[in-house]
A and B are shown apart, each in its own frame.
Chain A
Amino acid sequence: MEPISRREMLKRLGTAIGVATVLPLPAATRARAQAAIAETFISFTPAEAETLRAIVARLIPADENGPGALEARADRYIDRALSGALKSSRAAYTTGLASVNAQAQSLKNAAFSRLSPADQDAVLTNIQQNAAAFFNLVRNHTIQGTFSDPFYGGNANFIGWDLIGYPGARTTVAANLQLLDRKPEPSRKSAYDYGMFSKGEI
């Protein structure tokens, strides 16, 4: 499976360069990211999508601990939800993303997505301190998009659940999955894979 090999690759990369604090996106991930952005976003403009993708990639980065929020498709989760259950937050993204780019422009005269990871982090730190409401909104939604049920379009390939060791949705849990010294095998299932439940709003 591709996500596993990518994780292994990241691990090797991390070891090879002595776990640098800021890792460049590996070529394969970058290629995949470019392919993904070609898919149409339903809420965001292409420019907004590019900015958001760069933000989520810094909030939960791909690094020696495995793939991050972008690989989990947290951006896609947010994009879909902003036309559904989270639509009341759409306007906050328009102004928030614009202000992130404005700061990037004044710092390095470039779009946020074109900045180096270190510069991106500097902008995000500033946003966190001075525009906390928007920062917390994006952070919350990025966490949702990384750790929620894959039904909502994020947590692709169970990247979020693997990161924290959550063994996945189950409709029945045997006693030997609740022991201290034995990690349960991941179920690799969404709640809706069981076919027993009505689906909610995306």
Chain B
Amino acid sequence: MPTTLKKTNVVIVGLGAAGGVACLPLAQAGIEVIGLDAGPRLNTRDMAPDELRLNRGVWPPGPQKTDGEAPTFRANASATAVQGTHPMMNAVGGTSIHYWAQSWRLNPWDFKVRSETIRRYGAARIPKGSTIEDWPFDYNELESYYDKVEYAIGVSGKAGNINGKIDQQGNIFEAPRKREYPMPALRSTGFTEKMATAARSLGWHPFPGPAGIASKSYEGRAGCVYHGYCSGGGCHVNAKSSTAVTTIPRAEKTGRFSVVPEARVTTIETDTNGRVTGVTYIKGGQEYFQPADVVLVAGYVYENVRLLLLSKSKAYPNGLSNNHGQVGKHYFSHNQGASVSALFPFALNNWYGAPAQGVGVDNWADDNFDHSGLDFIGGGNMWVYTERRPIASVNGLGTWLQGKPTWGSAWKAFVKENADRTNSAYLQKTTLPYEDNYLDLDPTVKDSFGAPVIRITGEFKDNEKRIALFMHEKMEQWYKAAGASIIQRQQVGNAMGPTTHAYGGTRMGSNAETNVVNGWGFSHEAPNLGILGASVMGTSGARNPTLTLQAIAWRTAEYLAKNWKTVAG
């Protein structure tokens, strides 16, 4: 029998990017909140700039719930799924500790892909089999929450559109903002300036991207030191605006938010009326029941869906909030592969920096260009960035050898000459949900606790592949304009494997027949269950999801605080 703990107002399952911001508006509104995370608390001593340690996957230290929990994946329902790998992270702060910290707002078009496509190009242009819906609200509704998160965690950038006033120094395609970013953009480098000049020579509009990294001292945290170990690693000066060093400690200071690390939630409990009553978790080998008026599920996409599907009860025989069969549906992995790489005839001095230190081009993103004569909707953001590590620089030359020796003196000479001459672009592209792409529980593969892992069934469809080919052309043009001598295009793939940008599975929308949560992020079926994270997002846009899911999480938390009696009952 689990030990029953003292009841609290809200329990948050997962203290990453989403749960880590939602705790703050709740605690500030006077609500008692308990936050559970499967991982430990980390500190700056854990953040060594050590490539081997990061590569070996022994980082971070401490218990990791995610071991053995990576989803399996298959292209379609007749294929056999195999287990993949995934950098989901268990720690207070979650994946916001080691993410790239690119902190974009979505474009207004991303909220209205269906209606805007029909309006501009006709209904026939909605790709066949896509289950895409407009979001239950538009960009203007989310603007103030984007703003709140940007200032609460600290985002650096250069505005391209403040209340409709365009500034060529920023992204002229971005949605109107009410005010400038809290901090200036991360600095440019010799290489990013060369790429920006090349983009301008093509008539494009390069800009420094927004980063959840302090570019200068911000609320007691140091500015970025550009040391080259940002991707997949934590920040030793706390410049990265992870929730572990921003919103979580601030919520704790209110005295109404307590963090329980190394607590692995196994079930969300419900009563016979279909309301949730709290969560069961394991910590230090002991089982506990934490009763709460409201439960907010805030794990990674795969874990949100898994926890719901594993929480079966009389009221929800097919999994919590799944009486409409929508949990796991409208899933998609972001179409962020199919990169383009370049070899330059000179060294780029790209060793240091961070993936969020770079230059972007949005001329071919979203609906920023006319698609009348094209065979797809949407587009891609092109991003060229810094940070290169020694082992990766050597191994990364593999594709450039083209049949030349892979060891010995000739190889060594090749490595010496070219280790710092390559670059790969990051091309994030519009991805849509489809009827036959979904998540469910794997029938055979289980984690170390004996619970089934998530199975991804999904493949990129024609619309995604056509965007990828279109973006290949543009990126090649850009690299060539900057003086690259050889270009390589990565294959446009089919399978949707486990990804760092996963969306859907508990989609947000007003229609309970096609969505798991309503426009505020609360279950259509269990009224005191809220869901946070990219699992509620119905479109991807052409950018990293984190800032958007954080803005939505803040909005859900604020709604809960303002409508406490209605939701908590």
Which of B51, B193, B394 is close to A164, meaning CB atoms less than 8 Å apart? B394
Known contacts A21-B409, A59-B407, A65-B409; A170 and B48 CB within 8 A of each other: no
Q: How many interface residues does B have (CB within 8 Å)? A: 50
Could you tell me the distance in whole angstroms from the C-beta of A64 to the nearest C-beta in chain B? 8
Within 8 A of A (CB), among B360-404: 386, 389-391, 393-395
Cβ A149 vs Cβ B50 within 8 A: yes
Chain A residues within 8 Å of B415, by CB = 163-164
Query: Which of B224-232, B493-501, B531-539 has 4 or more CB atoms under 8 Å from chain A?
Result: B224-232
- State the Cβ distance, A23 to closest chain B Cβ, in Å: 8
Residue B349 interfacial (CB < 8 Å): yes
B48 touches A200 (CB 8 A): yes
If over half of B's interface residues share one DSSP class (helix, strand or loop), that class is named, otherwise mixed; here it is loop
Structural contact, A178 and B352, CB atoms closer than 8 A: yes
Residues of chain A with a CB closer than 8 A to B468's CB: none
SS of A interface (majority): loop
> CB-CB < 8 A to A21: which residues of B?
409
Interface status of A171 (Cβ within 8 A of chain B): yes
Q: How far is the CB of B131 from chain A (nearest CB, A)?
A: 43
State how many angstroms separate the Cβ of B48 from the closest Cβ of chain A: 4
Known contacts A163-B415, A179-B190; is-contact A198 B61 (Cβ 8 Å): yes
Asked, given contacts A65-B416, A178-B189, whether A172 binds B349 with beta carbons under 8 Å apart, the answer is no
Per-position binary interface string of chain A over residues 124-161, scored 1 when its CB falls under 8 Å from any chain B CB and 0 otherwise = 10001000000000010001100111011000000011
**Stretch from B39-47, B73-81, B93-101, B162-170 at the A interface:** B39-47
Contact status B347-A165, CB under 8 Å = yes
Residue A63 at the chain B interface, CB threshold 8 Å: yes
Residue of chain A at shortest CB distance from B56: A85
User: Chain B nearest CB: distance from A153 CB in Å?
Assistant: 11
Q: Would you call B351 and A166 a contact (CB within 8 A)? A: yes
Q: Which of B48, B353, B412 contacts A65 (CB 8 A)?
A: B412
CB pair A147 B58 closer than 8 Å:
no
Q: A178 with B58: in contact, given A61-B412, A166-B351, A198-B45 (CB under 8 Å)?
A: no
Given the interface pairs A139-B406, A163-B415, A171-B227, the reply to whether A148 lies near B349 with Cβ below 8 Å is: no
Which B residues between 71 and 126 are near A, CB-CB below 8 angstroms? none
Most A-side CB within 10 Å, residue of B226, B390, B420: B390
Q: Are A184 and B190 closer than 8 Å at their CB atoms?
A: no
Q: A175 near B: Cβ within 8 Å?
A: yes
A27-60 vs B: 1/0 string, CB under 8 Å? 0000000000000000000000000000000111
Contacts of B58 in A (CB 8 A): 85, 200-201
| B348 / chain A contacts, CB cutoff of 8 Å | 180
Instruction: Assess whether B285 is interfacial by the CB under 8 Å rule.
Output: no
**B189: which A residues are within 8 A, CB to CB?**
175, 178-180
The smallest beta-carbon distance between B69 and chain A, in angstroms, is 21
Q: How far is the CB of B282 from chain A (nearest CB, A)?
A: 26
Q: Among A68, A165, A178, which residue has the most Cβ atoms of chain B within 10 A? A: A178
A167 to chain B: which residues have CB within 8 Å? 351-352
Q: Determine the chain B residues whose CB is within 8 A of the CB of A58 once the complex forms.
A: 407-408
Identify which of residues 234-248 in chain B touch chain A, using a CB-to-CB cut-off of 8 Å. 236-237
What 0/1 pattern do residues 338 to 354 of B give for CB contact below 8 A with A? 00000000111101110
Is A107 in the interface zone, CB < 8 Å from B?
no
Any chain B CB within 8 A of the CB of A181? yes
A58 to B347, CA, bound (A): 27
- Per a CB cutoff under 8 Å, which of B190, B353, B412 touches A163? B412
Q: Please state if B349 and A178 are interface contacts (CB–CB under 8 Å).
A: yes
CB neighbours (8 Å) of A184 from chain B are 349, 351-352
Which of B52, B187, B352, B409 contacts A63, CB < 8 Å? B409
Closest 8 CB pairs of A and B: A180-B190, A164-B419, A197-B48, A178-B189, A173-B352, A148-B52, A179-B190, A172-B225
24 contacts between A and B (CB under 8 A): A85-B58, A128-B407, A147-B390, A149-B50, A163-B412, A164-B390, A164-B415, A165-B420, A170-B49, A170-B227, A170-B228, A172-B226, A172-B227, A173-B225, A173-B226, A178-B353, A178-B386, A179-B189, A180-B193, A182-B190, A183-B347, A196-B48, A197-B50, A200-B48
Instruction: List chain A positions with a Cβ less than 8 A from chain B.
Output: 21-22, 58-61, 63-65, 68, 85, 121, 124, 128, 139, 143-144, 147-149, 151-152, 160-161, 163-167, 169-173, 175, 177-184, 191-192, 196-201
Q: Which residues of B come within 8 Å of A, CB atoms?
A: 44-53, 56, 58-59, 61, 187, 189-191, 193-194, 225-228, 236-237, 346-349, 351-353, 386, 389-391, 393-395, 406-409, 412-413, 415-416, 419-420
